[in-house]
């Protein structure tokens, strides 16, 4: 649970940084879009985290990828719906919402940096 909470805080920090940058650059609707897209990004992350945890607990792997594919499709539908709704408020809001939704992907850079730093210490 601690990993999940840390990831959610990372997502929130990245979204806050993106929204602040949008505000500084003069795009208030993009900042609002980031704030609106962040909950979708968090839900997307939690959906995938929970299905991977369930698969690990059940001992299933590639042979039973059905639940993983179902969750991926649910994520796609949720994200597409959110972006469709965001498009109703204009392109600036849409781009902000997209950034809010993909903060999950940006958060993996933090993991990659930590792995590289750990590898550097071993040498």
| Concatenated DSSP letters of 13-79 | HHHHHHHHHHHHTT-HHHHHHHHHHHHHHHHHHHHHHHHHHHHHHHT--GGG-HHHHHHHHHHHHHH
Percent of the chain with pLDDT over 90: 60
Query: What pLDDT, on the 0 to 100 scale, is given for residue 60?
Result: 62
Work out the mean pLDDT of the chain and round it to a whole number: 90
Q: Where are the domains of the chain?
A: 2-122
Q: Which has more confidence, 59 or 17?
A: 17
Q: What is the DSSP letter of 90?
A: -
Q: What is the pLDDT of residues 36-49, one digit of tens each?
A: 999 999 999 999 88
pLDDT band at 1 (very low <50, low <70, confident <90, very high): low
Q: What is the pLDDT of residues 62-104, one digit of tens each?
A: 657 788 899 999 999 999 999 999 999 999 999 999 999 999 8
Q: Which has more confidence, 112 or 89?
A: 89
Give residues with Cβ within 8 angstroms of 87, minimum separation 6. Answer: 94
Taking residue 17's Cβ as centre, other Cβ atoms within 10 Å add up to 13
Average confidence (pLDDT) over 28-43: 97
For helices 2-24 and 91-101, give the axis angle rounded to 10 degrees.
150
Q: Terminus-to-terminus CA distance in the chain, angstroms?
A: 32
């Amino acid at each position: 649970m601690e990993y999940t909470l840390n990831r959610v805080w990372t997502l929130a920090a990245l979204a806050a940084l993106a929204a602040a940058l949008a505000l500084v650059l003069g795009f208030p609707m993009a900042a609002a879009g980031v704030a609106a897209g962040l909950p979708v990004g968090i839900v997307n992350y939690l959906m995938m985290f929970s299905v991977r945890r369930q698969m690990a607990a059940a001992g299933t792997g590639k042979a039973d990828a059905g639940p993983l594919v179902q969750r991926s499709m649910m994520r796609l539908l949720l994200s597409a719906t959110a972006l469709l709704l965001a498009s109703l408020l204009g392109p600036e809001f849409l781009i902000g919402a997209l950034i809010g939704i993909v903060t999950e992907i940006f958060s993996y850079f933090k993991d990659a940096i930590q792995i590289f730093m750990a590898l550097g210490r071993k040498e």
